[in-house]
Structure 1
Amino acid sequence: MLVAVFLTSGLALGGYDHNLGAGAVNMSLQNFTSLLQSSVAAETSPEVSQAAGSSAVESAVYTTQAPPETDVGELLPFDDTSPSSYVYYSGSYMPWGRFSAIFPEDVPLMWIRRHNGWSWYATMPLGTWSEMLMFIPDASPVYIYEIYPQGFVWRYDFGYVDPGFYRIWYYADIPGRHECLLYSGGMFSNRVVVDVVYQWIPPEPSPGPSPKEVCESNPQCSWVNGKCLCRGLIPPEDPEKQQCEQNPMCQWVNGKCLCRGLIGTEADGGMMGSALPEQ
């Protein structure tokens, strides 16, 4: 009954092709599983709890406003590769700069936008839109397979696509767990898991990367005993110490400026000091 409602309402099945165009094909889960087993998977997705989440931290960056009709179901250019962007890859979130340095660029990958970066898992309220990001390694025919919670699979055909990063709008059309995979160059990508939930999820940003994660994003730095220690960095000179040592009669000792012959009077260096012990 729920499927019929969506079909007759014009919203239709299909997280990408909102109007179920000619490029969408229905498959059985059994046929898709056989296809997946006979192909190469790029990388295994992380374990995700079987219970649908509803926390703001896990929430996708979503909107209730539909994107322009010309953008729905289309692979759109993506060039937001700023250093502040974080990407989930190889088991952790990392800045875009580090990701691009280690990413081999020979496998397809896929993400969904969350507040803490591009992720492989997110929750979305029913009837909302979010963006997915994908990497296509070679010029080839491209498909997206979406496994629906009811146990069937939709395949979306995007034709022959040049290599590079693309984004696409995703629509949360049916409650439950959805799993999406990109197919390009004879390989499947990781799975992107989306839990579509009835309740409204406050679109509040997560705290973002921790100080430890920011520290370790710099190859010159290490997180030691709660502090970020970086190789080759000399701490700035204390201005009071500099001023003290400009006076040939004074020395900086244990955080104080000590000057010969000055007891309780102001030193020439502009510092209050005590007399140095006689040599």
Structure 2
Amino acid sequence: MWVLVGVFLISGLALGGYDLNPGAGVVNMSLQDFKSLLQSSGAKEVSVPIPQAAGSSAVESAVYTTQAPPETDLGELLAFDDMDQSSYVYYGGSYMPWGRFSAIFPQDTPLMWIRRHNGWSWYATMPLGTWSEMLMFIPDASPVYIYEIYPQGFVWRYDFGYVDPGFYRIWYYADIPGRHECLLYSGGMFSNRVVVDVFHQWIPPEPSPGPSPREVCESNPQCSWVNGKCYCRGLIPPDDPEKQRCEQNPMCQWVNGQCLCTGLIPDDPEKQQCERNPMCRWVNGQCLCTGLIGTEADDGMIGSALPEQ
């Protein structure tokens, strides 16, 4: 009994992972009750790349801050309409650019992410007492809930009321050490799980380079990295015009994005005209003729005298 009271007090002081005060749209559930609800809803578990033990790599760190967001933003679903086309999103088993994700995402199921340095992910680590952003997609206008499974084995349900469809963001607070699992419920469906490992110790918020554009591209079996660009199946454009011009020359080959040619470069017209005059030679890009300087040479050429042999 006293353990439950202690847990309640800790959670109350922390105002919950989404900074909603218990009693104001927040319901406490047992883990068994939540599992029964999940099973009765017919929710399907989605394969998620989550380490068995808490991750420790800087790559897995959330983008976080120790400064609390404005009070008006706490516990609220905030409209998310500044889609950064350069960011990456985890979906379908790999990270992909936002433009690619938005083109293939059917927008018929709720989804949830947390912000990491390499993009929006389903797993992240956070130091205790810090804040990070979560992103969610709501497919239909409906009542919306977020369920958070705490490491101590209980579940908070956060009620956000009736929400219109679209993308939203919300601030998440790392209030208790251990593994937290968050699921969005909307339109009678559960989303994927977002797992957050909260640490006692401080993790330096060093930016991580994350996967390179090529690594992100090649992680998608439908895409190939060609000449510094990512082309996906059905979208690969015809050969580059420069490559086509190169391959039309039998003395040239297109290698690693460059045109490499064998043999000599065809003679320049000025060189050809110079060498038709028996008194002239083409030397270092100039036409030099024997005889007096200033003497008019055949074909209207004027050159300087060659040194006597």
Superposition CA RMSD, Å = 3.3
Larger RCO (CA within 8 A; separation ≥ 6): 1
Partner Cα separation in structure 2 for residue 21 and residue 28 of structure 1: 16
**Higher-Rg member (1/2):** 2
Cα gap change, 1:163 to 1:40, in 2 (>3 Å): farther
The answer to whether the Cα contact below 8 Å between 1:131 and 1:170 also exists between their aligned partners in 2 is: yes
1:142 aligns with 2:162: no
1:208 aligns with 2:210: yes
Cα gap change, 1:222 to 1:162, in 2 (>3 Å): same
Q: Which residue of 1 aligns with 2:295?
A: none
Structure 2, unmatched stretches of 5+, are 247-259, 276-280, 288-309
Cα gap change, 1:84 to 1:255, in 2 (>3 Å): farther
| CA shift digits 1:164-213 (9 cap, x unpaired) | 00000000000000000000000000000000011211212221342424
Per-residue deviation, 1:228:
6.7
Equivalent position to 1:254, from 259, 262, 273: 262
Partner Cα separation in structure 2 for residue 200 and residue 132 of structure 1: 21
Partner Cα separation in structure 2 for residue 20 and residue 256 of structure 1: 82
Residue pairs, 1:67-82, within 5 angstroms: 67-82=69-84
The answer to whether the Cα contact below 8 Å between 2:12 and 2:22 also exists between their aligned partners in 1 is: no
Per-residue deviation, 1:79:
1.2
Mean Cα displacement is larger for which, 93-102 or 35-44? Answer: 35-44
Q: Which residue of 2 aligns with 1:197?
A: 199
The answer to whether the Cα contact below 8 Å between 2:94 and 2:220 also exists between their aligned partners in 1 is: no
Which residue identity lines up with residue 155 of structure 1 in the other structure?
Answer: R
Q: Which residue of 2 aligns with 1:164?
A: 166
SS in 1 for 2:108: coil
Q: Which residue of 2 aligns with 1:64?
A: 66
Cα gap change, 1:169 to 1:144, in 2 (>3 Å): same
Structure 1, unmatched stretches of 5+, are 239-251, 269-279
Q: Percent identity?
A: 80
Q: Which residue of 2 aligns with 1:276?
A: none
SS in 2 for 1:74: coil
Q: Which residue of 2 aligns with 1:44?
A: 46
Which residue identity lines up with residue 241 of structure 2 in the other structure?
Answer: I
Partner Cα separation in structure 2 for residue 9 and residue 39 of structure 1: 27
Per-residue deviation, 1:27:
0.2
Mean Cα displacement is larger for which, 87-96 or 47-56? Answer: 47-56
